[in-house]
Each structure stands twice: as structure tokens, then as C-alpha cells.
Structure 1
Amino acid sequence: MAARLLRSMAPCASMALLQCSRSHKSARPLLALIPPATLGTCRSKKTWPKTFPEEELRKQLSPMQYHVTQQKGTESAFTGKYTDNKEEGTYHCVVCGAPLFTSDKKFDSGSGWPSFFDLINKDSVTLTDDFSYGMHRVETTCSQCGAHLGHLFDDGPRPTKKRYCINSASLNFQAKNSASEEVEASGGAGQSPPSSCFCLGVFSVDPSHCGKMSIHISHPTFAGGLIDRRSDQS
């Protein structure tokens, strides 16, 4: 009786195994449709080379800059100040001042956000998988401080065919024809620069003063604002 019962159940078991096998095989193409960001690096806020106290970030960044860089927000299309910027120069991280993109790699994508087809160097931006909003995208963050910049897409122009879609609020632009000279503030990895000079120091010398040299020193905050300090030295 038991043997007869087992023989009657065998076809059902075989059918169940076959159906399970087919389901497993059909799931593989779906997984293949989600390519990993192979160049991405998993980091936490504490492991970036440059970190800043929360209170300093909220003080120095505008609400939109903070929302984009610290909360992974997105500014509205066609509202950013660098979307249509055609000046020659370099785009820096608004938080830490690290150089990210150059104007010769910028192009008009029609998306409403500043778009670049390449980086200033291969290590300037970190890529990570982003599965928010039920979709897969590749997030771009500053490799120095972890500030959210935007996303990377594979629909850009040659030669890279990449489109770095970046929020203007995450950038600070330094024009090529500026008379200022950029100097990087001192400060070890994992430490914020002095509060009077968060990222870049800009200075110029005015020789027009007879008998003395006038030095103009500007200390940009990481929001791009300048704190002017002037001193006359004999």
C-alpha cells in the first residue's frame, strides 16, 4: 500500500522539481539586467579622507547644498547655476574643494543638469550602486569627502559614452581666467581644515602701493563664499 502511494506521488514530485528548475533559470536574466558599479567603493561617513563636523556643514552650506551633498537630494532641472555655464575653468566639490571636472569635458545633454563625459582624473569620483525609488542607478560621490554629486549614465558622447549628471549645488566653479591662484589648505586626512579656511586659499599681490605691498587673501568657505582678509605689509 505504501509503495503504491509513493509511486502515485512520484510524477507530482518530478513536475514540482522541473517547475522549480525552470523558475530558477528564468530568474538569471533578470539579475543580469542589474550590472554592478564595478568601480564603486563602499564607504561610510567616517572613512572618507576628509570629514567635517555636522554643525560646520549646516553653517557653511546653503539649504540646497546641504540637501544635495549630505542627504542625496536632487535640485530641480534647469534651476542650477552651472547648467548653462560655458566659461572655461574647473569644477570643484562645494564641500571640500577637491577638483572634479573641467569645462572641456562638459556638454549640453538637454537634461537640465550640468553634464560631463569624463572626470578630471579617474580617482576624483567614487561610484556606488543606488537602488532607491525602485530602480538601479550609479551614484557619484566626491572621493575625498563623500559628498553626493549626482549619477552616472551610459548615454554620453564619445569617446567615453558616459554622462556624469551632476547637481550644480554640489559644485563650485573656478574660472580659468581668474587672476587668483588656488592653494590647498593644510589639514591631514580625516581632519577638517581650520574654520577660517575650509578648502582653498586665494591670494593676490597689489604692487601699486608705494613703499609697501598690499596682500589680499580670500578664504572661501566650502560653500564657495569668500571671507575677505586684507593686510598691508611694509
Structure 2
Amino acid sequence: MTDSTKQYAVSKTDAEWKAQLSPAEFQVLRKAGTERAYTGEYTDTKTVGVYKCRACDAELFRSESKFDSHCGWPSFFSPLAEDRVEYIEDTTLGMKRVEVRCANCGSHLGHVFEGEGYNTPTDLRYCINSISLTLAPQ
């Protein structure tokens, strides 16, 4: 799933990732899977804090950028900083989308969508799998 030519700060073999992550976490984070809509632990969370990559603990999103998009996954209008995530063109499933990965370890987080209907400061919706994140409450 990750770009084999890119060097990430955190780099592990599949065997090492499998030892660290649950099977469901491995499927989403390392194989670009998707958790079922409305099943993730952070979909409706209002807790103030920082959302981190579940694979490498990199800080990715702040709760202040989280909003209710009613799409079934936690949604954010911006990452904590642009250098925390990377964007990859995704043409799977017959659609053209933009995949969002952790810039620190290359783990799949979700997708970002653009649209004026999101009513956010950026007109963006980062649709992120709960299983890709951990929340550090403040």
C-alpha cells in the first residue's frame, strides 16, 4: 500500500505491523481498508484533544477541526499541520478520490473530499477511519 520509494520516519515490515496491530487495524492502516460506516469509536465523539495515528502515534488532527458531517466516519476540515499527512490519488472502486495517509509511517487514514456544501472553513472533509486513530484527551 505504501509508496515503496518513500522513506518514512517509522518503517516496519508487514510482520512487524501485524505483531503491533489487531487484524482489523492492520487491514485498514496497512492495506487501505475501510471500517463500516457508523461503527467507529470516534464518529460522534466530542472530547477535546488530539487525534493521533494508531500505528505510530503521530499527532494528526485536533478536535477543534472535527465536525458532524453525518457521513458515518469522523470528519475534520483540516489536519493539525499539512506536513502531518500525505495525499495519494486513489482510483479504486471506479472513483477518483484522494487518499489521506500518515506522513510519518505511511498508514492509510481515509480520504479527503472537497465541496462547498461541507460548510467548513476549508470546504474540505477529511473522512477518517476511527480505527486509524487514537484520541489523546486534553
Separation in 2, partners of 1:173, 1:89:
7
- Per the TM alignment, residue 46 of structure 1 is displaced from its structure 2 partner at its CA by 5.5
Instruction: Please name the residue that 2:134 is paired with.
Output: 172
Instruction: Please name the residue that 1:61 is paired with.
Output: 21
TM-score (norm 2): 0.92
Instruction: Please name the residue that 2:83 is paired with.
Output: 123
- Per the TM alignment, residue 45 of structure 1 is displaced from its structure 2 partner at its CA by 6.7
Of the candidates 105, 118, 131, which is equivalent to residue 145 of structure 1? Answer: 105
Separation in 1, partners of 2:23, 2:55:
13
Q: Secondary structure at the match of 2:83?
A: coil
For 1:113, give the aligned amino acid.
W
Q: Secondary structure at the match of 2:7?
A: coil
- Which one has the largest radius of gyration? 1
Query: How many residues are paired up?
Result: 135
Question: Retained in 2: the 8 A contact 1:91–1:171?
Answer: yes
- Structure 1 residue runs of 4 or more that deviate by more than 4 Å after TM superposition: none
Distance 1:98 1:141, change over 3 A: same
Q: Structure 1, residues 5-44: CA drift from partner, whole Å, max 9, x if none? A: xxxxxxxxxxxxxxxxxxxxxxxxxxxxxxxxxxxxx932
Instruction: Please name the residue that 1:163 is paired with.
Output: 125
Of the candidates 89, 114, 117, which is equivalent to residue 154 of structure 1? Answer: 114
For 1:171, give the aligned amino acid.
L
- Per the TM alignment, residue 52 of structure 1 is displaced from its structure 2 partner at its CA by 1.7
Question: Retained in 2: the 8 A contact 1:45–1:51?
Answer: no
Q: How does 1:49-88 map to 2 (within 5 A)?
A: 49-88=9-48
Consecutive unaligned residues of structure 1, counting only runs of 5 or more, are: 1-41, 177-234
Q: Which has the higher contact order (CA 8 A, sep 6+)?
A: 2
Question: Retained in 2: the 8 A contact 1:45–1:146?
Answer: no
TM-score (norm 1): 0.56
Q: Structure 1, residues 75-122: CA drift from partner, whole Å, max 9, x if none? A: 000000010111000000001110000000000100010000011011
- Per the TM alignment, residue 62 of structure 1 is displaced from its structure 2 partner at its CA by 1.2
**What's the Cα RMSD here?**
1.4
Distance 1:51 1:163, change over 3 A: same
Instruction: Please name the residue that 1:109 is paired with.
Output: 69
Distance 1:161 1:46, change over 3 A: closer
Q: Structure 1, residues 154-194: CA drift from partner, whole Å, max 9, x if none? A: 13333100000000010011000xxxxxxxxxxxxxxxxxx
